[in-house]
């Protein structure tokens, strides 16, 4: 046997209320109580954090329990084990003596064991003539029996919390996956809704998810995300229903009306103000009256200065190649699907489609569904009823009007508009209609 470090029944160490409570609990153990020591040990492991025990402390407790010969522990039996430090170190996978002593103190503080030290500080058992143990000095494991129900309740609570945490994580994962798929479907299928704002709302919610968070925080985020899920789902289902009722209307860009006033994304009731943003291009003759040459890049940038925001590093756009690259950045930010973009490039040509994207981007605050608007203009371009000229001229006219109101930049805006007008006058000798004149922002003859 090895000598211990205590010279009193309490080990010669400072007493705490936790130790006294353990002593009281151990004395109150029912005499007829019976527990399976390894089942209780599993409960203690599951409730380790709630109990304040460490992994190393539980490794020592595992070793201590192994020194008791019986698997079943009884309330009326002797529950003291007296292994030496060397024996404990071997069964606890060889931890250093200082570490052993420190984590033994943790077990005592947590109320999992009680020190029963002899007067001379040694751990041993005194036996009677018949070989029975009369008195043992060492570590009392009776709290394992006395607190078995408490450990089980704590472990059940911990397991329930872990399950609830796992379920809310699954809810978040499934909801995020479904929303992303539904947004992609809405964009790809041309469902007229403000998908750019839907994506922003989704990113705002997802951005709240911390790396580590309590279950209650994740529950709140999951509820918010499920609300967005329901809104997107409702929008898609409503669009499918409208298609079944009138396929022609849905192709012309009829927009979904959302019944919820506080929707995460705007309800769509139209493609925006076409007379302002795109010009009234219903008359084929008007389009034919426009010049055939391409718009100068400088005029396009004057009409659509917001495109410069999309250039990395804040540089300018020096050629059409850089302008096309900026259009590729603007397209997804407005929620325009790849299929709608490809269809527009095929119908209009790559450069004209990019100018159309730039004009829509310049006035996106006035256009509910950029993707639906682009598809509508693409349909017009397919039958020769669309040109980018009225869109650009309307933007220049709006810029001039705004400059006159503020009193700044009016002269420059007038020069831009006059330059564009010269191209129209020199390259198109045909008489243009009153409708086209109105789209260019000029008064009709005789007005």
Instruction: Give the whole-number percent of the chain exceeding pLDDT 70.
Output: 68
φ/ψ of residue 93, rounded to 5: 65, 35
Residue bearing the bigger pLDDT, 430 or 182: 182
Asked if residue 286 has pLDDT above 70, the reply is no
Q: Any idea what the Cα angle at residue 257 is, between residues 256 and 259, rounded to 5°?
A: 140
- Residue 420: what pLDDT? 52
Among residues 322, 321, 386, the alpha carbon closest in space to that of 360 is found at 386
Confidence of residue 266 (pLDDT cuts 50, 70, 90): very low
Condensed to tens digits (0 to 9), the pLDDT of residues 43-73 reads 999 999 989 999 999 999 999 999 988 889 8
For 230-248, letters b (16+ CB in 10 Å) and e give ebbeebbebbeebbeeeee
220-248: average pLDDT: 82
- Residue 118: what pLDDT? 78
Instruction: Give the whole-number percent of the chain exceeding pLDDT 90.
Output: 23
Q: Is the pTM of this model over 0.85?
A: no
136: enclosing H helix or E strand: strand 133-140
- Residue 45: what pLDDT? 94
Instruction: Classify residue 124 by burial, with Cβ atoms within 10 Å: 0-12, 13-18, 19+.
Output: middle
């Amino acid at each position: 046997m090895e000598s211990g470090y205590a010279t009193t029944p309490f080990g010669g160490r400072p007493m705490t209320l936790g130790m006294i409570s353990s002593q009281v609990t151990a004395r109150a153990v029912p005499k007829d109580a019976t527990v399976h020591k390894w089942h209780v040990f599993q409960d203690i492991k599951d409730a380790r954090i709630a109990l304040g025990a460490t992994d190393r402390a539980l490794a020592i407790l595992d070793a201590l329990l192994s020194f008791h010969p019986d698997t079943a522990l009884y309330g009326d039996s002797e529950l003291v084990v007296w292994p030496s430090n060397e024996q404990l170190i071997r069964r606890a996978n060889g931890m250093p003596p200082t570490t052993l002593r420190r984590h033994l103190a943790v077990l005592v503080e947590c109320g999992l064991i009680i020190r029963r030290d002899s007067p001379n500080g040694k751990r041993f058992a005194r036996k009677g003539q018949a070989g029975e143990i009369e008195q043992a000095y060492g570590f009392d494991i009776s709290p394992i029996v006395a607190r078995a129900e408490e450990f089980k309740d704590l472990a059940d609570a911990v397991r329930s919390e872990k399950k609830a945490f796992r379920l809310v994580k699954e809810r978040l994962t499934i909801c995020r996956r479904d929303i992303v798929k539904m947004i992609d479907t809405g964009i790809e299928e041309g469902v007229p809704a403000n998908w750019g704002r839907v994506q922003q709302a989704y990113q705002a919610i997802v951005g709240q998810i911390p790396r580590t968070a309590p279950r209650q925080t994740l529950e709140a985020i999951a509820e918010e995300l499920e609300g967005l899920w329901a809104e997107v789902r409702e929008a898609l289902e409503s669009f499918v229903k409208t298609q079944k009722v009138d396929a022609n209307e849905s192709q012309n860009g009829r927009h979904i009306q959302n019944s919820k006033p506080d929707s995460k994304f705007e309800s769509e009731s139209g493609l925006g103000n076409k007379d302002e943003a795109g010009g009234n291009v219903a008359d084929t003759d008007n389009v034919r009256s426009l010049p055939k040459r391409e718009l100068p890049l400088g005029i396009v940038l004057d009409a659509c200065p917001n495109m410069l925001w999309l250039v990395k590093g804040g540089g300018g756009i020096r050629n059409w190649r850089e302008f096309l690259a900026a259009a590729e950045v603007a397209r997804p930010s407005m929620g325009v699907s790849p299929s709608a973009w490809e269809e527009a490039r095929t119908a209009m040509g790559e450069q004209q489609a990019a100018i159309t994207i730039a004009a829509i981007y310049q006035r996106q605050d006035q256009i509910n569904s950029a993707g639906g608007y682009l598809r509508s203009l693409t349909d017009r371009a397919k039958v020769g009823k669309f040109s980018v000229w009225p869109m650009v001229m309307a933007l220049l006219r709006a810029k001039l009007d705004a400059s006159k109101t503020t009193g700044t930049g009016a002269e420059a805006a007038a020069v831009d508009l006059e330059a564009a007008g010269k191209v129209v006058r020199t390259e198109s000798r045909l008489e243009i209609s009153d409708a086209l004149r109105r789209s260019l922002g000029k008064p009709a003859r005789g007005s």
